[in-house]
Structure 1
Amino acid sequence: MSRIPQPASIADAPAKSQPLLEAVAKQLGSAPNMFRLSSISPQALEGYLAMSGALNKGALPAATRERIALAIGQVNGCNYCLSAHTYLGKNLAMLDDAEIAANRAGGSNDPKADAAVRFAARVAVDRGHITDADFAAVRLAGYSDGQIIEIVQHVALNTWTNYFNEVFQTEIDFPVVDARQAA
């Protein structure tokens, strides 16, 4: 159970959050607990959705974005996010179990995606204090400056959701994945 009560339904959320939750439910088929819990602050929900929406229109493929989310969820030990992104990775990005395991280990079985995931994990682990070699590796793999910026933004976005869900102990509403268990 969450540390603070979340709205039981979209109708129970603050009025300013209701249209945002309805849009999430339309896109995902429901409004997952993380969204309902963050709806307590309409500004927080709006901010998250704005950043997420902008990045979803970026230059990184959806599968790469999910791979990064899995790597960052593992780095930060967020069971909610690992559960959500394992589900989304399998069902939307069509990642197989071996790929999800590689992502959680900070890499990928796809050579180009591997560079992005390794870079993202390094950014998270080293809190942005990467080396010139780390930067050169992601660039050498063919990522543009804009794509590298997006990778860093995905690290920030996923770190926020990881911290949010760990702080508030958001109840997991996806098949449960435990960060302490190997993928």
Structure 2
Amino acid sequence: MSAFPRHTLDSAPEAAKPILRSALRGYAFVPNLYAAMAEAPSLLEGYTTLSDILSKADLSETERQIILMTNNRLNNCAYCMAAHTTLSQMGGVPDDVIEALRNNTPIADNKLEALRQIAIAVNQQRGWLTPEQVDTFLAAGYRRQTLLEVILATALKTLSNYTNHLAETELDPAFVANNWTGDTPQAAE
């Protein structure tokens, strides 16, 4: 596969530079994902904009990470699993939830497990949920709005996971401690 460049502030296209500068201020480094996405400034802008929008959704940090990490696992994205494990730890997501997401095991909290299950269904069924799946999700205490926010988070992860597959993004040192080898691309749910 052709190598994708990892842009720096000096080498990035002009349209990507403000986003990379913002990432540097926020993370104290430019994540390799951003450095790869900078090759297509529109992708980088779309990803960071969607990420900002998702942060305003009516989801707790734990709920947000459940959706994101579930998609990372289903899409077999080692980079994002390691990165979101780190972000989950920093964001106060309970350790047992993080471990369940990394290991594809049920979450002990029934409501959070219902969210994990609907995130799996949205990803694997490409949004073609059955009425029973929707009813079960709503009966767990979620709203239709949450279901649409699951779609938003799934779209966000499609952008990053697919970019990482294509660009073969290497882990940043900040995420190495949470390396994830997980599933193989052929693994079934």
Q: Distance in 1 between matches of 2:160 and 2:105?
A: 18
Aligned twin of 2:101 = 103
Question: Which residue identity lines up with residue 83 of structure 2 in the other structure?
Answer: A
Aligned residues of 1:123 and 1:152 also touching (Cα < 8 A): yes
Aligned twin of 2:35 = 36
Aligned twin of 1:147 = 146
Question: How far is 1:107 from its partner?
Answer: 4.1
Runs of 4 or more consecutive aligned structure 1 residues displaced over 3 Å after TM superposition: none
- Whether 2:183 is the aligned partner of 1:180: answer yes
Question: How far is 1:80 from its partner?
Answer: 0.9
Question: Which residue identity lines up with residue 6 of structure 1 in the other structure?
Answer: R
Aligned residues of 1:82 and 1:178 also touching (Cα < 8 A): no
Q: Distance in 1 between matches of 2:88 and 2:129?
A: 27
1:61-106 CA deviation, whole Å, 9 max, x = no partner? 112111211111111111111111111111223331x322212316
Aligned twin of 1:164 = 163
Point out where structure 1 has 5 or more consecutive residues left out of the alignment.
none
Q: Distance in 2 between matches of 1:33 and 1:155?
A: 21
- Whether 2:7 is the aligned partner of 1:3: answer no
1:138-161 CA deviation, whole Å, 9 max, x = no partner? 111221221211011111211221
Aligned residues of 2:61 and 2:93 also touching (Cα < 8 A): no
- Whether 2:136 is the aligned partner of 1:133: answer no
- For normalisation by structure 2, the TM-score amounts to 0.86
Q: Distance in 2 between matches of 1:60 and 1:137?
A: 18
Q: Distance in 1 between matches of 2:158 and 2:112?
A: 19
Question: How far is 1:168 from its partner?
Answer: 1.3
Find the residue that maps to 1:143 and give its secondary structure.
coil
Over 3 Å counting, the alpha-carbon distance change for 1:178 and 1:108 in structure 2 is same
Aligned residues of 2:5 and 2:39 also touching (Cα < 8 A): no
Aligned twin of 2:63 = 64
Find the residue that maps to 1:17 and give its secondary structure.
helix
- Whether 2:97 is the aligned partner of 1:94: answer no
Question: How far is 1:28 from its partner?
Answer: 2.3
Aligned residues of 1:2 and 1:170 also touching (Cα < 8 A): no
User: Aligned-pair RMSD on alpha carbons?
Assistant: 2.0
- For normalisation by structure 1, the TM-score amounts to 0.89
1:89-144 CA deviation, whole Å, 9 max, x = no partner? 11223331x32221231642333222111100111122222211111111112212
Aligned residues of 1:106 and 1:117 also touching (Cα < 8 A): no
Question: How far is 1:2 from its partner?
Answer: 8.1
Aligned residues of 1:2 and 1:169 also touching (Cα < 8 A): no
Question: Which residue identity lines up with residue 45 of structure 2 in the other structure?
Answer: E
Q: Distance in 2 between matches of 1:47 and 1:159?
A: 12
Q: Distance in 1 between matches of 2:105 and 2:75?
A: 12
